Amino acid sequence: MAYQIGDRKQHQLLPSAVEDYVGPDDPVRAYDAFVDCLDLEGLGFEVDPHQVGRPQFDPSAMLKLLVYGYAYGIRSSRKLERATHHNLSFVWLIGGLRPDHKTIARFRRDHSGALAQVLRQCAQVCLRIGLIEGNTLFVDGTKIRANASNKHTWTVKRCKDELERIDQRIASILGECEQVDAAEESGAASLVLPERLQSEQLLRKQVEDALGELQRTDRTGMNTTDRDAGRMRIGAQVEPAYNCQSVVDDLFGLIVHTEVSDAGNDVGQMSGQVTAAQDTLGRSCQRACADAGYCSPEDLAVLMDQGIDVVVPIVRHSNFRDHFRFDPDRNEYVCPEGRRLEYMGDHQGDRHHIFGIRDAAICLACHRFGTCTRSRQGRRVARPFTEALRDRLEKLYRRPLAQMLMKRRKLRAEHPFGHLKHNLGMRSFLLRGRGGVRAEMALSATAFNLTRMINLLGIGTLVNALAQV
Determine the pLDDT at residue 176: 73
Whether 467 is covered by a domain: the verdict is no
Partnered with residue 237 across adjacent β-strands are: 234
The span from the CA of 292 to the CA of 130, in Å, is 31
Average pLDDT, stretch 228-239?
A: 88
pLDDT of residue 102: 95
What pLDDT, on a 0 to 100 scale, did the predictor assign at position 367? 85
Give the model's pLDDT for residue 330. 87
Instruction: State mean pLDDT over 278-294.
Output: 94
Residue 422 included in any domain: yes
Question: Is the confidence at residue 212, as pLDDT, over 90?
Answer: no
Q: What is the pLDDT of residue 180?
A: 66
Q: What is the pLDDT of residue 220?
A: 78
If one counts the domains in the chain, the total is 3
- Annotate the chain with three-state secondary structure: CCCCCCCCCCCCCCCCCHHHHCCCCCCHHHHHHHHHCCCHHHHCCCCCCCCCCCCCCCHHHHHHHHHHHHHCCCCCHHHHHHHHHHCHHHHHHCCCCCCCHHHHHHHHHHCHHHHCCHHHHHHHHHHHCCCCCCCEEEEEEEEEECCCCHHHEECHHHHHHHHHHHHHHHHHHHHHHHHHHHHCCCCCCCCCCCHHHHHHHHHHHHHHHHHHHHHHHCCCCEECCCCCCEEEEECCEEEEEEEEEEEEECCCCCEEEEEEECCCCCCCCHHHHHHHHHHHHCCCCCEEECCHHHCCHHHHHHHHCCCCEEECCCCCCCCHHHHCEEECCCCEEECCCCCEEEEEEEECCCCEEEEECCCHHHHHHCCCCCCCCCCCCCCEEEEECCHHHHHHHHHHHCCHHHHHHHHHHHHHHHHHHHHHHHHCCCCECCCCHHHHHHHHHHHHHHHHHHHHHHHHHCHHHHHHHHHCC
Domain that holds residue 203: 156-219
CATH of the domain at 399: 3.30.420
Mean pLDDT, residues 4-10: 65
Query: Which of residues 116 and 189 earns the better pLDDT score?
Result: 116
Residues 203 and 54 in one domain: no
Q: CA 142 to CA 418: how far, in whole Å?
A: 10
Encode pLDDT of 443-457 as tens digits: 999 999 999 999 999
pLDDT grade, residue 133 (50/70/90)?
very high
Q: Note whether 241 and 209 are same-domain residues.
A: no
Which of 315-329, 382-396, 406-420 reaches the highest mean pLDDT?
406-420
pLDDT tops 50 at residue 409: yes
- pLDDT score recorded for residue 254: 96
What pairing do the DSSP bridges indicate for beta strands 340-347 and 352-356?
A: antiparallel
> Does residue 336 have a pLDDT over 80?
yes
Q: What is the mean pLDDT of the chain?
A: 87
Is position 347 within any domain?
A: no
Res 375: pLDDT: 86
**Domain match, 413 and 279 both:** yes
> Looking at the domain assignment, is residue 176 inside a domain?
yes
Q: Which of 40, 79, 35 is nearest to 424 (CA)?
A: 79
- Averaged over 95-118, what is the pLDDT? 94
| Higher-confidence position of 368 and 143 | 143
Instruction: Report percent pLDDT > 90 for the chain.
Output: 50
Could you tell me if 256 and 208 lie in one domain?
A: no
Same domain, 37 and 77: yes
Let me know whether 185 and 297 are in one domain.
Answer: no
In a domain, 461, yes or no: no
99 and 64: one domain? yes
pLDDT, tens digit (0-9, with 9 covering 90-100), for 11-69: 666 777 777 788 889 999 999 999 999 999 889 888 777 666 677 888 999 999 999 99
User: Do residues 433 and 465 touch, judged by C-beta distance below 8 A?
Assistant: no
Same domain, residue pair 196 and 284 = no
Q: Average pLDDT, stretch 208-237?
A: 85
The reply to whether 277 and 307 lie within a common domain is yes
The answer to whether 355 and 342 have CB atoms below 8 angstroms apart is yes
Do 270 and 398 fall into the same domain?
Answer: yes
Q: Residue 262 class from Cβ within 10 Å (0-12 exposed, 13-18 middle, 19+ buried)?
A: buried
Interval 417-428: pLDDT, tens = 999 999 999 999
Residues 45 and 191 in one domain: no
Please indicate, yes or no, whether residues 305 and 395 belong to a single structural domain of this protein.
Answer: yes
pLDDT digits (tens, 9 = 90+) for 163-206: 888 888 888 877 777 776 666 554 444 444 567 778 888 888 88
Residue among 169, 175, 178, 225 at smallest CA distance from 198: 169
Q: Contact, 240 vs 229, CB < 8 A? A: yes
Q: How confident is the model at residue 321, as a pLDDT?
A: 60
Of 51-55, 224-228, 335-339, 410-414, minimum mean pLDDT range: 51-55
